[in-house]
A and B are shown apart, each in its own frame.
Chain A
Amino acid sequence: MKYKIIISNLLISLPLSLSIMNISQAETTTVNKLLDSYKSQGVISANAKQGEILWKKKFKNTGEFSSRSCTTCHTNNLTQTGKHIKTNKTIKPMSPAVTPERLTKVKKINKWFKRNCKWTIGRECTAQEKANILSYIENKSTF
């Protein structure tokens, strides 16, 4: 008799939990791939708090826009719509919870890291910095 209860419970909870896990599969796999590559470059752990600090930090620049930060275009809130500082083009929120396609393509993430770190900080971000930022955007510390 007890077994019936256990089995019927599993029949409901297993597919439910598997499908919930599947929904977040996409961005987790992409981020995990990248984190693995950072691990091979010596990164031990990703820190979302450090990622947030870097994201909000202001950097001086001699070009147009003398003070630059990730928040310049992406705003202070990952769930908010941003705007390109020069062209006004709207930028969908960075948070995957709001914009599901965020953090799903390795190529795209690499492209924007290269461009935007160079424009904001003046150099490419280190593997540790990238790990921290990804962790912050994903809203958790991943390993």
Chain B
Amino acid sequence: MKGTLAISSIVFTIGILTLPTVWGDNDFKWSEIENYRIKSSDVAAVTDPVYKEECGSCHMAYPPGFLPARSWSLVMSGLEDHFGDNAELDTETVQVINQYLLSNSADKSDYRRSKKFNRSIKSGNTPIRISEVHYFKHKHDEIPQRMVSGNPQVKSFSQCNACHKKAEQGDFNEHNVNIPGFGQWDD
């Protein structure tokens, strides 16, 4: 009896003594677990206020993590004819926006969906339409035309936030998809 008690108390003591080392381990953070969860699921939300204001004035400000840097450069150098519209900006603003886009592009991001976007684009290609990227097409290939182009409340795949209710928070999970006139998307 005494022997058992002695051994168990020694084991406990050693255990308690090692606690500060484990507890005080600076490598362990709950926030990192949360970060990992986010990065492993979606795309970084748009944060730059200038980008949000200027590039969100006619359509949703698209997350930079959906296209590689070379694509964003191409878009930004052709604002005079931006998909049929004139989106010209002064030099200063262009610089600020370029800075933001190029440092948060899909090829620089470690967010899971950004990596998927990037990997689905051949190195020789420079797409400027997010909806033309292979990964995007693959994710939307089951959606009938009548719900998008035939749907006056949506019109086009470029109107992400028409169906992706949390798009502006960088959340494109299909559980938060509600197609106007049709309802929750049931896969």
The stretch of A8-16, A52-60, A85-93 that contacts the partner chain = A85-93
Q: Which of A64, A65, A88, A115 contacts B86 (CB 8 A)?
A: A115
- Across the interface, do B90 and A119 meet the contact criterion of CB distance under 8 Å? no
- Across the interface, do A89 and B59 meet the contact criterion of CB distance under 8 Å? yes
- Minimum CB distance partner of B80 in chain A: A118
- Asked whether B74 is an interface residue with its Cβ less than 8 Å from the other chain, the reply is no
- Minimum CB distance partner of B87 in chain A: A115
- Across the interface, do A114 and B59 meet the contact criterion of CB distance under 8 Å? no
- Across the interface, do B86 and A119 meet the contact criterion of CB distance under 8 Å? yes
Q: Which of B88, B90, B159 contacts A87 (CB 8 A)?
A: B159
> Interface size on A (CB < 8 Å)?
15
In the complex, what distance in Å separates the CA atom of A64 from the CA atom of B58? 17
- Across the interface, do B90 and A64 meet the contact criterion of CB distance under 8 Å? no
State the Cβ distance, A102 to closest chain B Cβ, in Å: 14
In the complex, what distance in Å separates the CA atom of A20 from the CA atom of B87? 37
Q: Which of A86, A89, A115 contacts B88 (CB 8 A)?
A: A115
In the complex, what distance in Å separates the CA atom of A61 from the CA atom of B134? 33
- Asked whether A4 is an interface residue with its Cβ less than 8 Å from the other chain, the reply is no
- Minimum CB distance partner of A63 in chain B: B84
Q: Which of B84, B85, B89, B155 contacts A111 (CB 8 A)?
A: B89
In the complex, chain B residues 44-103 whose Cβ is within 8 Å of any chain A Cβ: 57-59, 80, 83-90
A-B contact pairs, 24 of them (CB 8 A): A64-B84, A65-B84, A84-B59, A86-B58, A86-B84, A86-B85, A87-B58, A87-B59, A87-B158, A88-B155, A88-B159, A89-B57, A89-B59, A107-B90, A111-B88, A111-B89, A111-B90, A114-B88, A115-B86, A115-B88, A116-B86, A118-B80, A118-B86, A119-B85
Interface residues of B (CB under 8 A from A): 57-59, 80, 83-90, 155, 158-159
